Each structure stands twice: as C-alpha cells, then as structure tokens.
Amino acid sequence: MANLNVDSVKQRTFDAIVIGSGMSGGWAAKEFTGKGLKTLVLERGRDVKHLKDYPTTNMLPYEFEHRGELTAEIREKNPVVSRCYAFREDAMHFFVKDTEQPYVQEKPFDWIRGQQVGGKSLLWARQTQRWSDFDFEGPARDGFAVDWPIRYKDLAPWYSYVEKFAGISGNNDGLAELPDGDFLPAFPLNSVEDHFKKQLKAHYGNRHVISARCAHLSKPNQIHLEQGRAQCQNRVLCQRGCPFGGYFSSNASTIPWAERTGLMTLLPHSVVQEVIYDEKAGKATGVRVINAQTKEATEYFAPVIFVNASAFSTNQILLNSTSSRFPNGLGNDSGLLGKYVAFHNYRARITAEYEGFQEYATDGRNPAGGGYIPRFRNLHKQETDFLRGYAAGFRADRSKNSDTSGFGADLKNQLLNPSWGIWKVGSHMMGETIPKAESQLSLSKFKKDAWGIPLLNINLDYDANDDKMVADYHAQMEEMFTKAGFTNIQKTDSHQAPGLDIHEMGGVRMGHDPKTSLLNKYNQLHACPNVYVTDGACMTSTSTQNPSLTYMALTARAVDHAVSEMKKQNI
C-alpha cells in the first residue's frame, strides 16, 4: 500500500464505493448521493462528459473519412468487436478494442464492452421492458437454476421510480406478461406494423405487437428538463451521444445528477483489482485500485461497496478478491461464483415483403425502432418440447430506391429521383437461455492483464434447447407472416457466438439459500452483506426482456436497502 499515513487514509475513506459508472453504477451513484452519502465512483475508463466528449455527434455522413464504414485494418485487428452492429466509424471510440483487453474464449464468445464513464449506456439500443411474474417464476415453475428470491411486486415500485427519472416512452398495453409502467407517450406503429398487430390479434388472440418501449424523451417532464435534457429529435444517431440528451445514458442523466449534489467523487482511469476483505472485522472494508495509466496501486475505504462493473467484469473482480476466509473469491462459500451464466439467443431472424399500404410510407425517424412482440410461447403452461420462450422485435420499413443498373445521365437521374419501393418487414428473436453449472467463468491461472488481474476464461455455449427455440421461432413467425400476407419470406440463423446479444448475465446469482446462490433478495452477498451486486451478474435467469431497466430498478432498490441497513447499523 502506497501510504499508511492516517490523514491519507481519511481522505481515501467514503460513505459508499461504487465500482463502475455505466448503466447500473450511474444509478447507484445517483441514489447514494441523493441520500446524502459521500460516494466514490471508480471507473476504469476515461471520463466522457455529456456533450463535450461526443466528438462525432453533429457530424454529417460526408464528414466521416470512410462515410461511416470500418477500414479493413480495423476489422482485421478487431474481429470480435467488429461483429457488433454499432461498432462503426461514428461510435468506435466508445468500444473496447479486442487487443486492449484480452480474455480467454474457452468457447467462442464475443464480449462487447464499453469502458468509459457511462459504460455501455452510451451505446445501447434503449429498449426497456419490465419483467412480470411469468419471468420471475420461471425457474421455480420449470425446474431450472434456482427460485428467484423476489417477485414482481418487490420490483414494481422501483420500476416506476427509475422509469420516471430515466424517461421511458411506451403505451400501457394491459398485458400481464409485460406489465404497464410510468411512460411518456409511445412512438406509434406505422401502417404495416399496425396491420401485423391486427392480424395477430385476429388469428391468435394472445399474440401482440406493441410499440417498443424505449428510453427516449418523447415528451419530457419537469424532472427531465431539470437534468438538462430535452425532447428527442428523432436523429437515431444515439450511439454517438445525443446533443439533446434525448435518450437515457448515465452521462446525460444519473452521473451529472449525482455530481450536482457535491457528494460524488468520480475517479476515471481507476481499475478495481479486488475488493478488500477484513478477516477481523468480518466484512469488506474497501477496494484496491490500479491507476490505468501509471499502474500505481491505491486503496479506498467505505462501509458499503456496490459492484457494477458489468456482468462478467463483476465476476472477474469478485473471483479475484481472495482472502483466507474466501480463498475462491469473495462471498463464494457455495462454490457457485462464476457459474450459471447465460445470455440471450439472438441467432434467428426473418424478413419478408409486403405489397399492401402503397399509399403510406413514413417520414422522419422512429427512435423506438418499431414494434415489440412479448413472449407468447410456454407462457401460461409448458406447450412445446423446449423450455421457456422468446420475445421478438418487429419492424416495417419503406424506403426510396433507385435503379442502379444503368450508367450516365440515366443513372444520375435515377439516383437523384428515387421512387418508393415496397414495404420490407423484419423480425429478430430474443430467446431466453437456460443457466447451467457448466456455463461458467473462471480466472486464468497463467495470464494476467496489464493491471495485474488474471484474464477471464469464458465458457458458455448454445444447447439443444436453444436450437429447438430457433426452429420454433422460424416456424411460428413464418406462419404469422404468411397469415399477414407477407411474401418472399426469408429465415436466417446467424449461428453467431454468444455475446453479441450484449445481454450476458449471471455468475453471482440471487437466491434464497446461501448454499445455492451468492446474493440474497436485496442483492447483498449472503456471506459478506456490505457488498452488493446489482448489475447483470446478479441475474438468476435471463427471461427475454432487454435487461438494463431491471438492473436499474434492482440498483435503486438495493441502495435504498443499504442505506436503511447502515442507519440500523446492520452493515
């Protein structure tokens, strides 16, 4: 340790420490500072200030050297991150490049990371749906993983709490499987999306297309204006950072809010190597940090620690936090730390065309990206030969096209005077995957990174359940597309590696029993209750919803719990 001087220790002591400043860490920072706690936020990446550090945000397409595309050199050097659709010339500076932080793919896994203040909240596609009890009761009903220690009623008020502040647009659709919320006006469906919605209703009754719920200020409330954010202007260039603060990111919302309390100390370039456990005190006392640039080590202290480094990085930190009490990683009495990780199956897509609605197109852009089909398979009871089910995106687009077969003045004329094509429709699957003991993370025994942390070994894969689900999605969607009159139906299975869904979860799962889980119902480590994990690592199962809204709600709830426990001197 660099300095044992008492004053120095005092200066490095806070009321709370939050590891990571992304989607979930930003919420922890906001909640702690909002409750009056002096909070240290440790972020391994650089600072990214709202507006100021969005270098590409107002660039026009022709101002990009390669008009948005990636060079062959970048693709060759970064095969993993290049597979992410959002890794393009306009936002590549917000992604971790393959060589910057290696990991071990025991099986192929595309680990997509955004490491800077704001984490991946700058880059996300902003899709936000609540879970229902059909999701929380999944493991118990279907006999996999362990029972979730919480139910919808535990999280419902916290969903409302985060929705109101973040600003989520959507309709109250009255569906038990996708609970309503506190929404700003939805971005409406277009003619063909509406058509599909009506067709499903007529042919199936229990299959729905709704306006995708998303973290955009369709109509800001006072609380959003107070954050310095304004109405979304339909640019749909969000991954660059939004000059209006039109979508929710930590950078536009929670971090500046926490900053304004004067209680937050945000330290970028601070790589947390491990959480320090004090054997005598019987609790965690702080964290050990390596300066990303100087490699110098410093320790920081606080009575409560939130680990929000993103699902797999959180596993890595906890696995690396060893002591004689916890030789296999902090809180790992059960031996399950790093196990039962899972993800979302995004392999399947289907596209088609529609000859109808020639009298309509769309004008402007839809930040929500179209419609969302909540899970309908195996919802009320088991009805297929695979477990669980899938949600799906659905969108219809009509664009103007030019015939480019000619050349000369004709070609120029075609390019400058395009005509409306027919509607194209498309859907992608978001399938639940089953967490299994053999799907696991561990630390490399041989290789360390530049900051002295053992590399993460990643070992997870699809199984027969996932293959059956892909087949069922294709069959069901094809039937639905056909009933809706769509033609030229094309089904694809990308066979992409897990990871590209960017919804990796688990490894530090919640549960009732310390023997079979790591975290209790308030996200505290059973065996070290002053450490909380509220990012994707805590997830007992994955269900089908885009997960970030749930991480945010769990985080706000856990901070509330932590602060009340501190008041009661329980931690």
Ligand X SMILES: Cc1cc2nc3c(=O)[nH]c(=O)nc-3n(C[C@H](O)[C@H](O)[C@H](O)COP(=O)(O)OP(=O)(O)OC[C@H]3O[C@@H](n4cnc5c(N)ncnc54)[C@H](O)[C@@H]3O)c2cc1C
Considering only residues 9 to 28 of the shown chain, the ones binding ligand X according to CB under 6 A are 19-25
Considering only residues 359 to 388 of the shown chain, the ones binding ligand SF4 according to CB under 6 A are 367
67 near another protein, judged by CB under 8 A: yes
77 near another protein, judged by CB under 8 A: no
Q: Which range binds ligand X by CB under 6 A, 150-158, 188-196, 457-465, 545-553?
A: 545-553
416 near another protein, judged by CB under 8 A: yes
Size of the site for another protein (CB under 8 A): 50
308 near ligand X, judged by CB under 6 A: yes
Between 405 and 569, name the residue whose CB sits nearer to another protein: 405
Query: Which pair of tokens denotes residue 355?
Result: 């000859």
Q: Which of 242, 336, 392, 558 binds ligand SF4 (CB under 6 A)?
A: 242
Assign 7 to helix, strand or coil: helix
Q: Which of 48, 80, 112, 275 binds ligand X (CB under 6 A)?
A: 112
What DSSP line would sit under 2-59, residue for residue? Answer: ----HHHHHHTB-SEEEE--SHHHHHHHHHHHHTT--EEEE-SSB---TTTT-TTTT-
CB atoms within 10 A of CB 324: 7
215 near ligand SF4, judged by CB under 6 A: no
Residue with tokens 């936090």: 321
Of the candidates 130, 214, 210, the residue with the CA atom closest to the CA atom of residue 166: 214
438 near another protein, judged by CB under 8 A: no
Instruction: Compute CA distances 451 → 44, 221, 328, 348, whole Å.
Output: 10, 43, 20, 38
Query: Rounded to whole angstroms, how far apart are CA atoms 520 and 510?
Result: 5
64 near another protein, judged by CB under 8 A: yes
Query: Number of C-alpha atoms within 13 angstroms, CB side, residue 358?
Result: 3
Query: Which pair of tokens denotes residue 451?
Result: 């900051």
**Amino acid identity at 126:** R
323 near ligand SF4, judged by CB under 6 A: no
Considering only residues 272 to 301 of the shown chain, the ones binding ligand X according to CB under 6 A are 272
Q: Which of 35, 120, 197, 375 binds ligand X (CB under 6 A)?
A: 120
When CB distances are held under 5 to 8 angstroms depending on the partner's kind, the choice from ligand X, ligand SF4, another protein, none that residue 246 binds is: ligand SF4
Q: What residues does 283 pair with on adjacent strands?
A: 278
CB 488 to ligand X: min, Å: 28
88 near ligand SF4, judged by CB under 6 A: no
Using N-to-C axis directions, what is the helix angle for 548-567 and 152-166, rounded to 10°? 100
Query: Which pair of tokens denotes residue 14?
Result: 């806070």
208 near ligand SF4, judged by CB under 6 A: no
Q: What is the biggest distance separating any 2 CA atoms in the chain, rounded to whole angstroms?
A: 83
Query: Rounded to whole angstroms, how far apart are CA atoms 44 and 32?
Result: 20
Q: What residues does 299 pair with on adjacent strands?
A: 288
Binding residues vs another protein (CB under 8 A): 58-67, 69-73, 187-191, 193, 233-235, 237, 358-367, 400, 404-409, 411-412, 415-420
Binding residues vs ligand X (CB under 6 A): 19-25, 42-45, 84, 86, 112, 114-116, 119-121, 123-127, 270-272, 308-311, 313, 317, 502, 535-536, 546-548, 551
